[in-house]
């Protein structure tokens, strides 16, 4: 019988596995391209007066909130506030969950706030959360674009997305979430840079 790992060995094993997953993600050029495409899509929307709505469940809801507050607040640059809303308001969610069902808590928000040219950042480690799928469907119906952070095989959300960012799957959702937060931080970094650039046709600085 193999003896149990010591706490130090468990710590090392966890960090090593996380490092391995990140390395696998970085080595796939499609993942890097997807992050850039997502950032450009969102920056274009913001520069044209649009906004970003974002949603998720559990830890992914926390990631959605973090994404939005870094845009309305700041990440690394002092710049004007950027329009981003995490779909998390408690009274709305309890009302819709009670009256319609929990699968509608995000889609009703999107129907109320989403406009053509806006972007939905939908976060689901399985890609199959019913309320996230309905939000993506509502976004597409509203003429919005959909960026998704998924996992496993991408689920049904993959086919509803204009851009999908999907970490490699190791069997645990926390490894997926670790890549999600890295992608979120990089997208915010790029968005801050892109919205500060002169729009095409502006002629740049003189």
Q: What residues form the annotated binding site?
A: 57-59, 66, 70, 98-99, 124-126, 129, 177, 185
SS3 state of residue 84: strand
Binding site residue list for substrate: 57-59, 70, 98-99, 124-126, 129, 177
Distance, CA of 111 to CA of 26 (rounded, Å): 35
Binding site feature residues for Zn(2+): 66, 70, 177, 185
In Å, how far are 47, 52, 81, 109, 114 from 118, measured between CA atoms?
11, 6, 16, 13, 6
Q: Phi/psi at 123 (nearest 5 deg)?
A: -120, 120
DSSP state for residue 198 in the 8-state scheme = P
Residue 120 three-state SS: strand
Sheet holding 119-123, edge to edge: 84-86, 52-55, 119-123, 145-149, 163-165
Cβ neighbours for 161, distance < 8 A, ≥ 6 positions apart:
122, 136, 146, 147, 148, 150
The position carrying tokens 């997208």 is 187
């Amino acid at each position: 019988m193999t003896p149990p790992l010591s706490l130090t060995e468990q710590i090392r094993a966890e960090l090593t596995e996380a490092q391995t997953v990140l390395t696998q993600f970085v080595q796939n050029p499609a993942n890097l391209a997807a992050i850039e495409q997502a950032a450009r899509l969102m920056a274009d929307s913001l520069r044209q007066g649009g906004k970003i709505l974002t949603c998720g469940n559990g830890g992914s809801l926390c990631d959605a909130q973090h994404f939005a507050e870094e845009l309305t607040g700041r990440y690394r640059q002092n710049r004007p506030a950027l329009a981003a809303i995490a779909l998390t308001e408690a009274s709305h969610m309890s009302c819709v969950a009670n009256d319609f069902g929990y699968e509608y808590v995000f889609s009703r928000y999107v129907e109320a706030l989403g406009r053509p040219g806006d972007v939905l950042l939908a976060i689901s480690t399985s890609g199959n959360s019913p309320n996230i799928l309905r939000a993506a469907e509502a976004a597409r119906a509203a003429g919005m674009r959909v960026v998704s952070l998924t996992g496993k095989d991408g689920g049904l959300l993959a086919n509803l997305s204009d851009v999908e960012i999907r970490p490699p799957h190791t069997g645990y959702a926390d490894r997926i979430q670790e890549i999600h937060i890295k992608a979120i931080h990089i997208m915010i970094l790029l968005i801050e840079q892109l919205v500060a650039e002169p729009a095409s046709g502006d002629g740049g600085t003189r």
